[in-house]
A and B are shown apart, each in its own frame.
Chain A
Amino acid sequence: MWNAWKKAFDAWEDASARYLETVLKNRLLLTPAGAALAQLTKTKALVDKTLATSLGALGLATKRDQERTLHLLNRLESRLLDLEERLDERTDKKP
């Protein structure tokens, strides 16, 4: 009984997935969904920018400033590791 039900379920699941795939590819659904997501992200970016500008006007470091600094530190670390590798190559050092 269970096996028969499961077989029927698998067939239904497969058919439903195929049908939903056509729905989820439909531009009539996707275009407005994409536009809504874009609008939401633009709004969030605008709010963040406004907040950052206000903080900047007060002479405070913004989150973005801190992120940039941390990123540059990470990049510097990578460059140092590059140099270390080159030195190792020169001295033919094995790990």
Chain B
Amino acid sequence: MNRWSLRAQNLGALAVRPKVPVGVTPADVVHAENKWRLLRYRPRHLRFKTPVLLVPSLINRHYVLDLMPGKSLAEWLVERGHDVFVIDWGTPGDEDRYLTFDDICDRYIGRALRKAAAYGPSGKAHVLGYCLGGTLAVIHAAVRPEHVASLLCIAAPVKFGGSAGGQDSLLEAWTRLSTFDVNSLVDAFGNVPWQLMQSAFHMLRPTMGLSKAVHLVDRAWSDEFLDGFLAIETWSNDNVSFPGECYRTYIESIYRKDELAMGTFALSGIPARLENIHCPVFAISFEHDSIVPADSAKALTDRVGSKDKTHLHLPGGHVGAVVSKAAADRLWPKLSDFWAQRDDLRNALPPAPAVAH
């Protein structure tokens, strides 16, 4: 059968195609609090003693890091011998409109980090933050460095002004608009509706939908591509709303006033200065990332106090570069190598108990 016949057949059956299983790497809940949970992927054969904590974005589901079998960063890391934990932020309820930035970035991440770090011999864990999760991890590490063995940020914005070649990026321009009233938005909705945020992300590149459709037709002959495409679509349409008070701080202090980059942001009253970060730092940005410009992500390695710091700029977009087949060849080994080189105890370990809280 030629490619056009396969394309026609696969596209015709798209609506009835079996759902792609997402986020299926076996994991146990080691802690649960409010709506969030800390999951520990079941270790297969631990080679590295220092646990790895994955901090995903607040507004997307955590399973982007465990998309589907064969395209899962978590699964790959477990196979490689890492002890991997991930924060599942869950779905905020209406009452979570009062959750503050300090609650999430200090209390919740702090607890997740301490719980994960307790599984290692040094009481520290490697932290990987993706997107907004990276920003949260950076702020946490600047204020509470005790349990952070290293900090690895993938497409994590740190600088929020003039990060598109000296000019404001689209998101920066929108949030800095004098008529954009974040207070009335939070007062009206409580949690900021995911639909509103998703529309904004779509507006970053309005032609993206059309481009995706053409790309789908182009590659529809491949079942592997279709499964990956549908898994990413499932994830990208499965969003959560942003807790209101936390959003207010995020937009007012971090976006509008660029307080993190300026060194004036405080978490729980403690200054969060990037120069206070002294652990090994690895920042990764992507060439075609329309959400986080490279300059915004690179600001981390420019400003941290660490001597051991690396910035890597890779081809690809905000999501595809992390979960695609290319990511498995190009990106994931770099993450594991970064930790392996900084994990001086590489002997096999007895598996730690999977504790249900």
Contacts and interface: CB of A to CB of B under 8 A. Distances in A.
Bound pair: A and B? yes
B95 A37 contact: no
Interface residues on chain B, size class: 35 or more
Interface of A: 2, 6, 9-10, 13, 16-17, 20-21, 24-25, 27, 30-35, 37-38, 40-42, 44-45, 48, 63, 66-71, 74-75, 77-78, 81-82, 85, 94-95
A68 B181 CA distance: 23
A45 B187 contact: yes
7 contacts: A13-B210, A25-B170, A31-B178, A63-B94, A82-B107, A85-B111, A85-B114
B355 interface: yes
Interface string B36-58: 00000000000000000000000
A22 B179 CA distance: 19
Contacts of B115: 95
Interface in B92-123: 93-99, 103, 107, 111, 114-115, 118-119
Top 5 closest pairs, chain A to chain B, by CB: A34-B179, A70-B95, A41-B188, A38-B181, A44-B188
A28 to B, nearest CB: 12
Q: Chain A binding site: helix, strand, loop or mixed by DSSP?
A: helix
B184 interface: yes
B118 A94 contact: yes
B205 A17 contact: yes
A2 B136 CA distance: 44
Contacts of A94: 118
